[in-house]
Amino acid sequence: MKQIIQFMKRNYKFILPIILLAGILVSFNFRNQSDPEKDRELLQVLRYILSQAHYQPIAINDSFSEAVYHDFLDILDPTKHYFLQSDIDEFAHFKEDIDDQILRNDLTFFYTVFQRYEMRVDESKAYYKEILTKAIDISKDETYSVDYENATFPKNQAALIQVWQKQLKMRYLGRLYDKEQAEKDKATSDSTYTQRSFQTLEEEALDKTLESMDNLYDRLEELTRDDWFSYFINSIAAQFGPHTSYLDPKYKKRFDISMSGKLEGIGARLQKEGEYTKVTELISGGPAWRAGDLEVGDLIVKVAQGDGEPRDIVGMRLDDAIEYIKGKKGTEVRLTLKKVDGTTQTISIIRDVVELEETFIKSAVVEKSEKKYGIINLPKFYIDFDHKNYRNSATDMEKELKSLKDEGVSGILIDLRNNGGGSLKTAIEIAGMFIDKGPIVQVKFRGEKADIRYDTEKGEIWDGPLVLMVNELSASASEIFAAAMQDYKRAIIIGGKQTFGKGTVQNFYPLDRYSRSGKDLGFLKMTIQKFYRINGGSTQLKGVTPDVIVPSRYTYLEVGERDQEKPMEWDKIKPTEYHLWSVYDNYTESIQNSRNRVLENPQFQLIDNNAKWLKEGQDDKIVYLKYTEFKNDVKSREAEAKAFEALDDFSTNLTFNSLQYEKSLMEVDSILAKKRDVWHKNLTKDVYIDEALNILQELSVNSRVKLVKN
């Protein structure tokens, strides 16, 4: 079972830090003024590169201007608790003028809006201090909507203060509820414990809310005007798609840490997403992976050391947040998360040494109905271009396939769930291990003919039944591999409604190369290529639709490329010539039989009901500010969650074992043995693995056709 120390089935409306943070990361009094000439040069270089090298450049016109206008205001004040409507009315004349300013390297819009923003943020310090130095009335029957997208700006200062009162009260009630529940839990576990009075808890909750606000505003002083100019530049870059962004010199270094370094202590890679610290990858075999509670897409909002007081990290710089999360082996860190499903969850992780060895491919063997089947977990398509002799996913896959053949398996299942991609080269090589030879993917630069990438090695390493597992987080190179196997009808694909849908390639451009002044202008990450399947369709936006669609917790949630801001559209080009594998006896029948089993499986039905319930909770944006109603709302959600506890009870009677070569390694490596034991136990409780094996068991190869083919 997951080691959850506190789990509250609350809608994301109770993730209280969002009420203050995206717009709070700002410096006062234009500390550390930047060089206006450098800013104008940056704007000019950015405009030039985007127009000349982006895969799909867009016109800088009035529509572009209005989009930048709204995006920048939303970055500054997403919860509409700084600007007044009169400010917005005053800014309105910029809506169709920003494009003209960009073309003449004019920064008037940025200066005007940001100076007003500084003033409003400075005024807000008095609001929260005044509100949080008095007792808060928790008996008043009122509500607050966190539907910020459709909210309007306050008409006057009185209305603005009312917004602050409700937002701070919402934050306070969350702390009060947590403290009250903690007292009850202590009393339950220790009969000698005397619970503190509710009045004491109220006072502590108020003090902690004020303290967290003070800490938040202290961090404001660390940021410069340059930090917010970068956000303005990004509001321009963002119009070209979700994967085009600007990184100033200091943030490029932090980005590199988040993308290529490992987060010491828990085994997760993080990156900044707006005001949040987002989990982008779990290191297979690491502490977070073993605990099982942290997921890709989770947002970390609070961090506590052991039993210490949680610290808000929303709005904190990435490297500062990492300092709180990482720590010495054996110590405990508690993370409060905004889950991808919209709930709040506090989890415990015991820090450990993170070994990158576990990011590599691994295999297991399982016996089902007197036949052996191989399961290969491929967490990413890894390669080291700097060291040619270093292991990569293609050479490792070849080793695993040959070892599984030696084990006498009748079919192979490859698990690509949560595989975010990686090396296109290794994806092509791996795909070639399952077909004779032929095209795998088409890669297209802007305005050029598609480049067809081939597997040129004749013959297959594995020519038996093949099933691939994907989910909504399988992206990029994993989508290329799955798409090729589907187009050839080489494998049956099973998974969520579709894969992530990232069919584009990005590159980094150091902008100082284009600087006439010689100043470091930072970097631009920009889309330069697009992927297309061999059937001509792009993997962009639509991803890969599995042959057998199974419900998942992501079914109704917004987690894919299609849910990003301004994603590049799907399109189709000329298909390339390829020949179907055509060796299966019952390819179509196996797919249909699996679909029927999924429809009749009560576990999948429960998963689907849970996914619908999670979506309903995510869409509920009303917060009750009367404490009794606040608690009732939380408890109601927790009671509803009990209907889904059976999801954790599923188990098969299957036994998973390591391959022979690995068993010899485990005899002298007890840590490896423990890691494999955890993985094998997880496989026994995985209903998706169970159904994938059912497909593999049924799928048969025509031995006569296979003999002729070879």
Q: Which residues carry out catalysis?
A: 476, 487, 502
- 211's CB contacts (< 8 A; 6+ apart) are none
Amino acid at 150: N
Q: Give the separation between CA 241 and CA 564, rounded to whole angstroms.
A: 8
DSSP-assigned states of every residue in 539-583: -TTT----SEE---TTTTS--SGGGSSSPPPP-B-PPPP------
Q: Give the separation between CA 245 and CA 172, rounded to whole angstroms.
A: 35
Beta strand residue intervals within 206-343, DSSP E: 245-247, 268-273, 276-282, 299-305, 311-312, 332-338
Q: 340-361: buried (b, 16+ CB within 10 Å) or exposed (e) per residue?
A: bbbbbbbbbbebbebbeebbbb
DSSP-assigned states of every residue in 163-200: HHHHHHHHHHHHHHHHHHHHHHHHHHH-TTPPPPPHHH
Angstrom CA distances, 360 to 193, 380, 384, 395, stand at: 48, 8, 12, 11
- 161 exposed, middle or buried (CB, 10 Å; 0-12, 13-18, 19+)? middle
Q: Give the separation between CA 300 and CA 337, rounded to whole angstroms.
A: 5
Q: Contact 583/529 with Cβ under 8 angstroms?
A: no
Q: Give the separation between CA 502 and CA 531, rounded to whole angstroms.
A: 9
Helix (H, G, I), strand (E, B) or coil at 282: strand
